[in-house]
Amino acid sequence: MIELPDIRDVDLKICWVIALEPEAKPLIDLFDLHPLSNNLNFPVYINPKSGHALVISGIGSSKAAAAATYLKMLFNVQRYVAWINIGIAGFCEEPIGQLFQAIKVHDTARKTSYFPGFRLSKIVKCQTLHTVAQPETKYSEAVLFDMEASGFCEIASMFSCNELVFVLKIVSDTPKSPVSLVSREAITQLIYQNKNKLRGIISRIEKLVNDEKKRLHVPEEVYQYFERYHFTQSNRYRFLQAYKKWKSAFPDGKLARTLAAGNSASELISNLESELFLAVKDWKLK
Amino acid sequence: MIDSIFVEREVLDHPVAQEICKRLKHADIFEIERYQEMFNRRKQNFRIQKQNPALILAKKHDNFVLPAPSGFGIDAQKNYYFSHMYNCIYDCRYCFLQGMYSSANYVLFVNYEDFFKAISDTIFENNNKSMTFFSGYDCDSLAFEKITGFAEKALEFFTNFSSVELELRTKSIVSDTLLNRSPISNCVVAYSLAPSNVAAILDNKAPSIDRRINVLQKLAKNGWSVGLRFDPLIYCSGWEKLYSELIHKIFNDINIEQVHSVSHGPLRYPKEMYKKITSLYPDDKLFSFPMEAKDGIVSYGKEIEEEMSSFLQFELEKYTTRNKIFRCLV
Ligand code: SF4
């Protein structure tokens, strides 16, 4: 088990929200996740090295939302992190074991739709998913059926952005092979059999996460100035904006040198801006 | 290309929607209620979405024709624009659409007939006034033509209204729609242009400047009126030489009679829009320039704007008459 005090420093990339333990098991194996503690409201697993965390929510849309929130609070999950809900689903046709990305999630009770995730259509088939309150046995429409995704989508996109919230579903039951026949072992097996595809999907998602992390990154050197000088809220923003421009214009520039003469927030901002103004005459676009 | 089409239930059977789905036969089709439920959602990430936009087919219900912002038009008394599409297949770094919409998905309004009806109503309401209708304000007029077929229909329509002008603004070299038919005198094909190496850095996914110039010269040779749009003017070291060479290159091999108008305009954004766009691309050198924010507008500042504008004016007057040159100030 991992000691609790360290967990808020974990640099996460992907948060998994899974309804059932048999669905989670293959992912726990695949990403070498370890249980965090026995005393949590929801079982949580983590691999701090690879940056994956997983929570088991139980069945139902509100539980999925609650578990996602729990994970977010537990690790103070950052905006650039991707959220994935993966699990089994009913579908109107075979084959059992087919993996889909749900790109439209419709909550049948609340009559609301979500359009989660950057579409990974080059590596996985896309489909509409209906989140229902009771297991679907009639397969009345040509869509996937689950019981969690809508709650997950609603909450997870608040923690990150819509494009980094993914719903992946594996067909477990169809009119020919009803849900009552799906065993715990079968569920685990269905996820295992998609592991290669999942690896491809994860590596694409990690690329998006890394790009987003880079876009939102505020370097440590900026915080040092925030600590050393008094910044009002608006000066903080101005400093950050000026810094970003300065860094982009002079990637090899030394901040300490540029700001050596500054003694207040506004002087620091104006030092950054002056250096930019001096470069205008010879401005390059690249 | 496009792998997913979201179609409003209401237009599933519309012939344009059906034709487009047929053209994009490898795309998956998903039904939606209204395009806004997807397009206007909060917490979308434009930058990520832009890597693989979906197409949304929708019905427009109102505001088919709108007055063009002042400073946008050329010299007609009345300037209007219409937007049959939101967003663009190109990815110009300075594009204001990135700051205007929260989604990078393409919305295409398939009820073309309602646009044409609204345009003809506007023409009749403004009897005897000189008018220009601008297409491609919220998209590129021709870039998506192979899929939409909109420009072709618009040309047919405007042949019946020879006293009003249609401007198709584009960076596209997809010119078959135009070259395969005889030119119509009241249509201006206006090309957005920038020096080659500026465009190579900023006009992502758009055809190179050489190819744009080739096509516009070809169109002019075939009798089409062409417009030259140096908008937005991009500042960088050596910009005078770059713009001067570009202008020379264009006018070197074009029948000046076919040049309908030339316009130039500065790089400007409303403050909030600029904030949004720069947050999408904080590392881009275009946005690290120390811009000036004044009266809610972010720009290179008066001095640079004036310098660039006067220079362009001077260079253009070497090749064409002053009455064909316009300064746009949107
Ligand atoms: S061509 Fe025009 S509309 Fe398209 S991305 Fe470029 S600036 Fe935007």
Task: Give domain status of residue A192, yes or no.
Answer: yes
pLDDT tens figures, B46-103: 999 999 999 999 999 999 999 998 777 676 678 999 999 999 999 999 999 999 999 9
Task: Give domain status of residue A248, yes or no.
Answer: yes
Nearest CA distance, A208 vs chain B (angstrom): 8
Task: Give domain status of residue A97, yes or no.
Answer: yes
Q: Does A273 share its domain with A174?
A: no
Given an 8 Å threshold on Cβ–Cβ distance, is A248 in contact with B28? no
Q: Does A65 share its domain with A86?
A: yes
pLDDT at B151: 96
Q: Does A50 share its domain with A172?
A: yes
Nearest CA distance, A277 vs chain B (angstrom): 6
Residues A154 and A105: beta-carbon distance below 8 Å? no
Choose one of B92, B269, B286 to mutate for the ligand 1 pocket test, by most ligand atoms within 8 angstroms of C-beta. B92
- Average pLDDT estimate for A240-262: 94
Dist CA A189 CA B256 (whole Å): 72
Residue A225 has pLDDT above 70, yes or no: yes
Nearest chain A alpha carbon to B40: A115
* Minimal Cβ distance to B43: which of A158, A212, A281: A158
- Average pLDDT estimate for B11-31: 97
pLDDT tens figures, A61-93: 999 999 999 999 999 999 999 999 999 999 999
The overall average pLDDT reported for chain A is: 94
Residues A161 and A205: beta-carbon distance below 8 Å? no
Task: Give domain status of residue A12, yes or no.
Answer: yes
pLDDT at A198: 97
Residues B138 and B84: beta-carbon distance below 8 Å? no
Instruction: To the nearest 10°, report the CA torsion of A148, A150, A155, A159.
Output: 100
Q: Does A240 share its domain with A190?
A: no
Q: Does A53 share its domain with A169?
A: yes
Domain assignment of residue A62, given as a range: 7-216
Check if B140 has its Cβ closer than 6 Å to any atom of ligand 1. Answer: yes
Task: Give domain status of residue A1, yes or no.
Answer: no
Residues B219 and B189: beta-carbon distance below 8 Å? yes
pLDDT at A6: 60
CB atoms within 10 A of CB A164: 27
Given an 8 Å threshold on Cβ–Cβ distance, is A248 in contact with B285? yes
* Minimal Cβ distance to A283: which of B33, B54, B235: B235
Quote the ligand 1 centre to B135 CA distance (angstroms).
Answer: 13
Nearest CA distance, B78 vs chain A (angstrom): 37
Spatial CA neighbour of B264 closest among B169, B192, B171, B187 = B192
Q: Is the dihedral of CA B217, B219, B222, B226 positive or negative?
A: negative
Evaluate the omega torsion of the peptide bond into residue A95 and state whether it is cis, within 30 degrees of 0.
Answer: yes
Q: Domain total for chain A? A: 2
Task: Give domain status of residue A2, yes or no.
Answer: no
Q: Does A206 share its domain with A255?
A: no
pLDDT tens figures, A137-180: 899 899 999 999 999 999 999 999 999 999 999 999 999 999 98
Residue B270 has pLDDT above 80, yes or no: yes
**Domains of chain B with CATH codes:** 1-127 (3.40.50.12110)
pLDDT-derived band at A5 (thresholds 50, 70, 90) equals very low
Q: Does A204 share its domain with A233?
A: no
Q: Is the dihedral of CA B263, B269, B270, B276 positive or negative?
A: positive
Q: Does A233 share its domain with A201?
A: no
Nearest chain B alpha carbon to A285: B285
Domain boundary among the residues A198, A216, A234 is at A216
Task: Give domain status of residue A35, yes or no.
Answer: yes
Quote the ligand 1 centre to B145 CA distance (angstroms).
Answer: 14
Domain boundary among the residues A170, A200, A216 is at A216
Q: Does A106 share its domain with A232?
A: no
pLDDT at B329: 79
Task: Give domain status of residue A46, yes or no.
Answer: yes
pLDDT at B103: 98
Q: Does A120 share its domain with A59?
A: yes
Separate counts of helices (H) and strands (E) for chain B: 14, 18
Report the share of chain B in percent with pLDDT over 70. 99
Report the share of chain A in percent with pLDDT over 70. 97
Spatial CA neighbour of A47 closest among A30, A64, A26, A72 = A30
The overall average pLDDT reported for chain B is: 95
Q: What is the CATH number of the domain that holds A89?
A: 3.40.50.1580
pLDDT tens figures, B294-310: 999 999 999 999 999 99
Using a cut of 0.90, tell me whether the model's pTM lies above it: yes
Domain boundary among the residues A176, A195, A216 is at A216
pLDDT at A7: 67
pLDDT tens figures, A18-59: 999 999 999 999 999 999 976 788 999 999 999 999 999 999
Q: Does A78 share its domain with A179?
A: yes
pLDDT at A142: 95
Spatial CA neighbour of B146 closest among B180, B121, B117, B113 = B180
| 3-state SS assignment for residue B123 | helix
Q: Does A55 share its domain with A196?
A: yes
